[in-house]
Structure 1
Amino acid sequence: MKKKYPLHLLCLVATLATSAFAGVSVTAPGNNSTVATSVQFVATATTSCAKGVSAMGIYTAPYVLAYTVNGARLNTSLTLNPGTYNTVVEEWDNCGGASTTPIKITVGGSP
C-alpha cells in the first residue's frame, strides 16, 4: 500500500530544507526589546542561491518597506514614532528566493 502524505507536511519539509541554507540574522535591535525613537538595525543575510543575496529591506508594518540596501549586509538607523512595531527584515536573492526574520520592538520617546 502506498503511503500518502498531506500536502501541508510536504510543504513544511520543503520550507525547512530551503531555510536551512538561507536566512537573515538580526543583531540589532533585539527581538522584544524597548528602543529609543532612533532605531539601529544591523543584519546579515545568507542564501543557498549560487548567485548570492541581491538586497535586504526593513518593513516597519505590513507592506511598509521603510528601507532597502543592495547586498547581504544592512546597517542603518530609522526614526520611528513611539509605539509597538512588528518589524520584519527580509533578504531577496538573485534566484528569486527570499527569507525573513521578524523583530518585535517597542519604541519609547527619546532618540
Structure 2
Amino acid sequence: MAGGAQFTPADTEPRYEVFHTDCAARDVVGHATSRWGIWVLISLQRNDLRFYELRESIQGISEKMLAQSLRALVQDGLIWRQVEPTTPPQVTYGLTEFGRDVSEPLVELFDRITRRVAPTAG
C-alpha cells in the first residue's frame, strides 16, 4: 500500500534504550537482577532488616558481596539505609516505593519457580 500513514506512538515520554550500554536504566536492571541483588530485594520484601540479618537470610553471600550489592541498590534508589549512632553502628535496610515496585515481580517469579521445582533431599 503506497503512501500509507506513518504510525506515531501516543506515548510521547522518552523511553530508555536498555540495550545500549550507556542507558541509565540498564545499570539499575543489572543491579536488581544480579546474582545477589535479586536475593536482597526478595529478603527485604517482608521486613526491614539489619545487615547481619540480611547476611544470615541469604546463605552463601559474603559480607563483601552483600555490602557491594546494598551499596548499588541504595544508589539506584531501590532500597534505603538508616544508620543508628550506636557502638557499633546498627544499619537497617528497607525497600523504597521503587524497590517494592521492582521486587514484587521478582517475588512472584521466585514463587512460580519454587512451586514447580521439586524439593531437594537435605
TM > 0.5 between the two?
Answer: no
Larger radius of gyration: 2
Q: State TM-score, norm by structure 1.
A: 0.30
Q: Which has the higher contact order (CA 8 A, sep 6+)?
A: 1
Q: TM-score, with normalisation over the residues of structure 2?
A: 0.28
